[in-house]
Amino acid sequence: MGETDWGGGVPGEFGVGGTQKRTEPAGGTQTEKEVTKNRVPVFEGHLHIKEIHEAQNQIRELEKKIKELEARIPQRFPDVKFLNYRSKKRILITGGAGFVGSHLVDQLMIAGHEVIVADNFFTGRKRNVEHWIGHENFELIHHDIVNPLFIEVDEIYHLASPASPPHYMYNPVKTIKTNTVGTINMLGLAKRVGARVLIASTSEVYGDPEVHPQPETYWGHVNPIGPRACYDEGKRVSETLSYAYARQEKVDVRVARIFNTYGPRMHMNDGRVVSNFILQSLKNETITIYGHGKQTRSFQYVSDLVDGLVGLMASNYSLPINIGNPIEHTIEEFAILIKKLVGGPSKIEQTSAVEDDPQRRKPDIKRAKTYLGWEPKVWCVLYDKGPLSWSNDKEFLVTSPEVPGLIPTASRFFYETVGLEWGQLSLLRANEELLEQKNSGSNLEN
């Protein structure tokens, strides 16, 4: 018996491709009536194609209803001020997923502006801004600013750069590129779109200062080839670039020289004094002081810094401005205070000093007071009769007319400062890998 393909069949009735084979008798070809009689539907016992289409349509309708229901569920964003189109600004924050940048995002979002965060997550963390993801005014871009960025914005806060010694020393070439090539890209963007740009510089431009306190007119005392030079000199060059663009290209620039800052969302293993001491105390480990401990620092709370940055951006003052807390304390005093507040058996020990570590650091903030009307609202001093008090129930209170009782308990504040959830101490002690975790983005190429 021979076999012949039956072409042109109806899909679903004759099988995939519409082909049904029939058997010819040896003596000749079957009539059409006989062929029809001998057909065997392939989909017998299964859904007909029409029923499949109906099921698909029903699924689409269900998906549509689910989306409508999801849209009705209110997302829990912080309250945001409504601004009309004339007042609302479109603002780019480079490094916006970092410690300082994420707090700046919060303030600008709550003020009602549109905020775009560009971050390569080298030291920034998505969780710092994830509470805004999905908000119509917020956008998060995974972008390294050593590559140009082409967007339309009204203002640019250029905060992108590793800022703690272990981070910027880990990849010094990348640090220099971020502060030079990255700054050129941001200044170029500001030039193209007519945006005002604020460059986040640092008190490190003063190096190990020979003038105390440090005014903005002081040119600094910096080692250009030391281990910290990639950051110190990188920031000095970023300032030079800013004013070169201002003079030649008429770019509207602002420069903030930021002094030591602490607060929630600090990277717990960033190697800075506050986070180091807190983490060592929470783990009942030895509190390590590099050097003799008589070096001084002036620490400001992160909310004060953000207020200063926003005020500087809104001002008409274009020369560099120090933003820091003029209350100065020794490293040893900070170690004693943190040990006292956390409690526990931690001991304080001294070890060899770090190369090029500044011996004194205190900002002169006359410019900030005069031109911005800014000074710290949260004062951290080490005296029982001062704004910082230590009561029997271990409350760590900050005296401030703006935020009375800002920090409910010392321990909770310390957890949040080093980026831990409240109640995570036992996990931290049990899981030593938390301390050994590598920096996100540590594999970034030069």
Other Cβ atoms less than 10 A from the Cβ of 434: the count is 17
Residues designated catalytic: 231
Instruction: Sort strands 3-6 and 20-23 into parallel, antiparallel or unpaired.
Output: antiparallel
Q: Which amino acid is at 87?
A: S
β-strand partners of 297: 329
Token pair recorded at residue 385: 């009769």
CA 325 to chain CA mean position, Å: 23
Residue 446 in contact with residue 173, Cβ under 8 Å?
Answer: yes
Nearest to 129 by CA among 154, 153, 151, 99: 99
Q: Which two tokens stand for residue 420?
A: 């831990």
Radius of gyration of the chain from Cα atoms? 32
Paired residues of 363 in beta bridges: 214
- Pairing mode of beta strands 155-158, 90-94: parallel
CB-count exposure of residue 368 (10 Å: 0-12, 13-18, 19+): buried
DSSP conformational letter for 295: -
- Please state at what angle helix 331-342 crosses helix 273-282, rounded to 10 degrees: 30
Which amino acid, 134?
G
Q: d(Cα 286, Cα 49) in Å, to the nearest integer?
A: 73
